[in-house]
């Protein structure tokens, strides 16, 4: 049998091992937050934002941010129907109402026209998820947010390295969130980051993230309110610091892998890969192939073909509204149609050119059969 090609795994070097070892051996007592502070500082400098707070997950970062915005039961939050559950789960924690709108057929991200049409007096926020590294139309969404007095939140969990006309993904919204899950371009195993340029929002999230203990509170172990516990450990942050110090290298390799795929299959009319519109940079976290309706290629045929070649492949996200605990919205035609003829492609940093050719050949062989 041919060797297994994984769809993802992290790039870990001696730098991560050295920092994590130091944190495990010495990062206690007065040094218990040392790597957390260094990671937050390095991340905020990379992103070009004033504030960054490490969290245990991107979901936790979203939860904290929504709490700081004052989300209440009955408030509405607009987001794309094409997403992973993590983007909407925190909305439900407040008994708020998720409003799922359709995505664009090319970026697979929020359709601004559908967002505008979904605005009501109850709309509290728009969550713009930069899917697979692809960028939402931030100019349009930020304009909608300004005109309607609605917060625009960037869920940049998958978009480290992506840039919107010179600004890094996650840096333009009311706040941004990131994931450092083991599948991501940079990782701490599990973990996330909350970022913002809003000083007051930062202080609010900082308090909420520390069990409600305000930074200026003089009384020891005195919470000013009931908060949350979404902290990252010093050891995780040590790994994160090493990863953010390598971020340019890690993103460059992701872009190189995507370029190889594009050379192999990106010129074919029946296969659409992740877009990179003029003026933007795509971090290409997860190269994805969407087949045309006319091709006759389906998700199940792709899964079977990859399995036969001992290659991992992920399915495109199901529509959130198709899940049993939400109200179906089949009128979101793109969100319902794209997953039926799409597949995520392996893209871990250590892939060889031969590996990429093997993956590409599966795509081509499936296409030839139809």
- Check whether residue 309 and residue 161 sit in a common domain: no
Q: Is the pLDDT of residue 232 over 80?
A: yes
Residue that the structure tokens 């059969």 belong to: 369
Confidence of residue 260 (pLDDT cuts 50, 70, 90): very high
For residue range 150-182, list pLDDT tens digits in order.
999 999 999 999 999 999 999 999 999 999 999
What is the C-alpha to C-alpha distance for residues 351 and 5, in angstroms, rounded to an integer? 8
Q: What is the pLDDT of residues 73-97, one digit of tens each?
A: 999 999 999 999 999 999 999 999 9
Strands 192-196 and 167-168: unpaired
Span 254-278, average pLDDT: 95
- Ramachandran angles phi, psi of 268, nearest 5°: -80, 135
pLDDT score at 354: 96
> Residue 192: which H helix or E strand, with range?
strand 192-196
CA 201, CA 216: separation in Å to the nearest integer?
15
pLDDT, residue 267, reads 84
Average pLDDT of span 213-232: 92
3-state secondary structure of 4: coil
Answer yes or no: are the C-beta atoms of 179 and 58 closer than 8 Å.
yes
Residue 61 has pLDDT above 80, yes or no: yes
Mean pLDDT of the chain: 97
Asked if residue 276 and residue 222 are part of one domain, the reply reads no
Residue 33 has pLDDT above 90, yes or no: yes
Tell me the three state secondary structure of residue 272.
Answer: strand
* Residue 36 belongs to domain spanning: 14-245
Bridge partner residues of 129 (DSSP): 155
* Cα distance between residue 148 and residue 142, in whole Å: 10
Mean pLDDT, residues 57-75: 98
Per-residue pLDDT band for 370 (boundaries 50, 70, 90) equals confident
Per-residue model confidence as pLDDT tens digits over 273-299:
999 999 999 999 999 999 999 999 999
The position carrying tokens 């599990």 is 190
Look up residue 120 and give its two tokens.
Answer: 């009501």
Q: Which residues contact 107 (CB under 8 A, 6 or more apart)?
A: 131, 134, 135, 136, 137, 275, 277
Q: Are residues 232 and 311 in the same domain?
A: no
Tell whether 167 and 273 lie within a shared domain: no
Please give the average per-residue pLDDT across 44-71, as a whole number. 98
pLDDT at 369 over 90: no
224 and 328 part of one domain: no
Residue 216: the pLDDT is 85
Could you tell me the two tokens for 10?
């992290």
Q: Looking at residues 294-320, what average pLDDT do you find?
A: 96
Percent of the chain exceeding pLDDT 70 equals 100
One domain, residues 46 and 170:
yes
C-beta of residue 36 within 8 angstroms of C-beta of residue 237 = yes
Task: Answer with the one of 245, 274, 294 that is the final residue of a domain.
Answer: 245
Mean pLDDT value across residues 219-244: 96
Which of 22-36, 211-225, 249-263, 345-359 is predicted least confidently?
Answer: 211-225
| Total domains present in the chain | 2
HEC-encoded secondary structure of 219-239 = CCCCCCCCCCECCCCHHHHHH
* CATH code for the domain in which residue 145 is found: 3.40.640.10
**First-to-last C-alpha distance (Å) of the chain:** 26
The answer, yes or no, to whether residue 268 has pLDDT greater than 80, is yes
């Amino acid at each position: 049998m041919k060797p297994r090609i994984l769809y993802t795994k992290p790039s870990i070097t001696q730098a991560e091992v050295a920092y994590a070892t130091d944190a495990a051996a010495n990062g206690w007592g007065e040094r218990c937050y040392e790597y957390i502070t260094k990671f937050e500082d390095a991340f905020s400098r990379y992103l070009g934002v004033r504030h960054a707070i490490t969290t245990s997950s991107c979901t936790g970062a979203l939860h904290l941010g929504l709490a700081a915005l004052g989300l209440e039961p009955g408030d509405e939050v607009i987001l794309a129907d094409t997403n992973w559950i993590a983007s909407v789960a925190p909305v439900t924690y407040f008994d708020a109402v998720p409003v799922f709108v359709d995505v664009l057929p090319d970026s697979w991200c929020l359709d601004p026209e559908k967002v505008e049409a979904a605005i009501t007096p109850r709309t509290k926020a728009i969550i713009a998820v930069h899917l697979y590294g692809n960028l939402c139309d931030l100019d349009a969404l930020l304009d909608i947010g300004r005109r309607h007095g609605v917060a625009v939140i960037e869920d940049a969990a998958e978009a480290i390295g992506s840039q919107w006309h010179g600004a890094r993904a996650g840096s333009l919204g009311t706040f941004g969130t990131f994931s450092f899950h083991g599948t991501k371009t940079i990782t701490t195993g599990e973990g996330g980051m909350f970022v913002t340029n809003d000083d007051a929002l930062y202080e609010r999230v900082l308090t909420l993230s520390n069990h409600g203990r305000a930074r200026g509170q003089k009384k020891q172990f005195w919470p000013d309110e009931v908060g949350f516990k979404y902290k990252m450990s010093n050891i995780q942050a040590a790994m994160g610091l090493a990863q953010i110090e390598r971020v340019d290298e890690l993103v460059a390799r992701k872009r190189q892998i995507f370029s190889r795929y594009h050379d192999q299959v990106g010129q074919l009319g029946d296969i659409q890969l992740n877009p990179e519109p003029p003026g933007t940079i795509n971090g290409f976290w997860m190269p994805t192939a969407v087949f045309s309706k006319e091709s006759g290629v389906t998700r199940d045929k792709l899964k079977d073909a990859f399995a036969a070649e001992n290659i991992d492949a992920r399915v495109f996200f199901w529509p959130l509204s198709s899940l049993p605990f939400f109200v179906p919205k089949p009128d979101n035609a793109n969100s319902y149609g794209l997953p039926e003829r799409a597949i995520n492609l392996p893209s871990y940093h250590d892939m060889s050119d031969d590996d990429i050719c093997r993956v590409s050949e599966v795509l081509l062989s499936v296409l030839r059969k139809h």
